[in-house]
Amino acid sequence: MTNPVRPRGTCRVCGGTVVQFLDLGRQPLSDRFRTGSETEPEYFFDLAVGTCESCTMVQLMHEVPRERMFHEDYPYYSSGSAVMQKHFADTARRLLETEATGPDPFVVEIGCNDGVMLRTVHEAGVRHLGFEPSGKVAAAARAAGLRVRGDFFEESTARAVRDSDGPADVIYAANTICHIPYLHSILRGVDALLAPDGVFVFEDPYLGDILAKTSFDQIYDEHFFLFSARSVRAMAASSGFELVDVERLPVHGGEVRYTLARAGARRPADRVAALIAEEDATGVTTLARLDRFATEVGRIRDDLRALLERLRAEGRRVAGYGATAKSATVTNLCGIGPDLVSCVYDTTPAKQGRLTPGTHIPVRPADEFADAEVDYALLFAWNHADEIMAKEQAFRQAGGAWIQYVPHVHVRK
């Protein structure tokens, strides 16, 4: 059914019509943690998401300029999670074993951040290059001995590397391609830089998991696209590539690793058709399913707000755990400020001593959590739940309880 009042836009991939299914309101930059003394007005934008009627690509209705998000002080350091460090070391080893097998292989990463993946490639003595436009995280990678180009990957910068270094056997990206609205330039860049039989491998949050878990906090300025196998297959086919493999990953609340090769170069694994069939069976790319998701988001917003208000009325002390980019969406949508959540504990020095975007909750060092007098901890970093709960076992033993809002609002005592 077409709702005539739905806002519409133009698909960044195929030029088709994008119809909006969820409006998350005015939102700040999710990774812009202010100091207490900053006085200039905060940047806000309309966070709304829609789906393309033609190619099914789910995407934001409004784009935030990339320099506002990725700059000298970008505060997300990928090595902040031990689980993710292992994930990327394992990923690198597998790429080295399966793809970088020639006499002088060359591995390129888009969005290498602090070098969490390329470190293993470097240690194996394999030629590598990371693209990383955010200054301080790139400096951390360089300090680990890695070769990093401080540019956005796009057609022009990819061509420059092809000219200086020759073709890449593997171009890899994690949690980065979904950040990039200008996908055509990326794919032309991959086309220019990739060896004829090379692969472009990228992993990002998976629409199927986001719907199944109602993890609406995966939607924020940086996450421009929410990929599905169907939409990625269409995107690849429109630019001379083919989706030849998919692999579901448990990290970050559920992701898919997509492998693209030049059209006709490799036989697609059966897993590709199987995942698309599963998407069709569960209706992942239908407007009806996306509308149901939007309704579920409203329920979580109301339940979370009601729970926090009740705890405040009862005099309970509530803090947040993990000053994630995702939490900007949750706190700004639900109107959660320091009156409901006194502070957020986080291990990232670049976030500590600052205030959360839009809602201005103070961020405190995570090592203060053990001594803090907290009754309930709202787990914003729910995707790292096992790692965090293993570290913070004493909290529950002392009577503390965790609040989670994915897939629904619940308390874990």
- For residues 139 and 145, give the distance between their C-alpha atoms in angstroms, rounded to a whole number: 10
Q: Which of 22, 49, 52, 226 binds Zn ion (CB under 5 A)?
A: 52
Residue 239 sits at the vertex; the CA angle it makes with 234 and 244, to the nearest 5 degrees, is 60
Q: Does 347 bind ligand TMP (CB under 6 A)?
A: yes
Site string for ligand SAM, 142-161 (x = CB under 6 A): ----------xx--------
181 binds ligand SAM (CB under 6 A): no
Q: Is 329 in the site for ligand TMP (CB under 6 A)?
A: no
Q: Using CB under 6 A, which of 126, 284, 323, 361 touches ligand TMP?
A: 323
Nearer to ligand SAM, 84 or 236 (CB): 84
- List, in order, residues 6 or more apart from 397 with CB less than 8 Å away: none
- Please report whether residue 20 would count as binding ligand TMP according to CB under 6 A: no
Count of chain residues binding ligand TMP (CB under 6 A): 17
CA dist 387 and 381 (Å) reads 10
The amino acid that residue 17 corresponds to is T
- Around Cβ 65, how many Cβ atoms within 10 Å? 10
Q: Does 17 bind Zn ion (CB under 5 A)?
A: no
As a whole number of Å, the CA-based R_g of the chain is 21
**Residue 258 touches ligand SAM, criterion: CB under 6 A:** no
Q: In whole angstroms, how close is the CB of 221 to ligand TMP at the nearest point?
A: 13
Q: In the chain, what is the straight-line distance between the N-terminal and C-terminal CA atoms, in Å?
A: 43
Report if residue 130 touches ligand TMP, rule: CB under 6 A: no
- What CA–CA distance (Å, rounded) separates 292 from 299? 11
- 358-367: list long-range contacts, CB under 8 Å, 24+ apart: 358/27, 358/28, 358/42, 358/44, 358/328, 358/331, 358/332, 359/328, 359/331, 359/332, 359/335, 360/34, 361/320, 361/331, 361/336, 361/337, 362/338, 363/33, 363/323, 366/321
Q: Does 324 bind ligand SAM (CB under 6 A)?
A: no
Q: What is the 3-state secondary structure (H, E, C) of 72-110?
A: CCCCCCHHHCHHHHHHHHHHHHHHHHHCCCCCCCEEEEE
Restricted to residues 297-316, the positions that interact with ligand SAM (CB under 6 A) are: none
Tell me the closest approach of the beta carbon of residue 309 to ligand SAM, in angstroms.
32
CB of 134 to ligand SAM, least distance (A): 4
Output 169 or 204, the one with its CB closest to ligand TMP: 204
Residue with tokens 């909006």: 20
Q: What residue 113 binds from ligand SAM, ligand TMP, Zn ion, none (CB within 5 to 8 A, per partner kind)?
A: ligand SAM
Cβ pair 369, 343 in contact under 8 A: no
14 binds Zn ion (CB under 5 A): yes
Tokens of 195: 């060896």
Shortest Å, Cβ 84 to ligand TMP: 7
- Kindly state the smallest distance separating residue 213's Cβ from Zn ion, in Å: 25
3-state helix, strand, coil in the chain (%, to 5): 40, 25, 35
178 binds ligand TMP (CB under 6 A): no
Query: With binding defined as CB under 6 A, does residue 325 bind ligand TMP?
Result: yes
Range in contact with ligand SAM (rule: CB under 6 A) among 35-43, 176-184, 279-287, 354-362: 176-184
Alpha-carbon distance of 331 to 337, in angstroms, equals 7
Distance of closest approach, residue 53 Cβ to Zn ion, in angstroms: 8
- H-helix or E-strand containing 220? none
Q: Which does 324 bind (CB under 5 to 8 A by kind): Zn ion, ligand SAM, ligand TMP, none?
A: ligand TMP
Report in angstroms the alpha-carbon separations of 258 from 235, 271, 275, 352: 12, 11, 11, 35
- Answer yes or no: are the C-beta atoms of 171 and 190 closer than 8 Å: yes
Per-residue x/- marks for ligand SAM, 76-95, CB under 6 A? x-x-----------------
HSE at residue 212, side-chain half, CA atoms within 13 A, is 12
Q: How far is the CB of 368 from ligand TMP (least distance, A)?
A: 11
For ligand SAM, the closer CB: 249 or 294: 249
Q: Does 175 bind ligand SAM (CB under 6 A)?
A: yes
CB nearest ligand SAM: which residue?
111
Q: Which residues are near Zn ion by CB under 5 A?
A: 11, 13-14, 16, 52, 54-55, 57
Binding site for ligand TMP (CB under 6 A): 80-81, 322-325, 346-348, 351, 366, 381, 383-384, 387-388, 391
Binding site for ligand SAM (CB under 6 A): 70, 74, 76, 78, 110-111, 113, 131-134, 137, 152-153, 174-176, 179-180
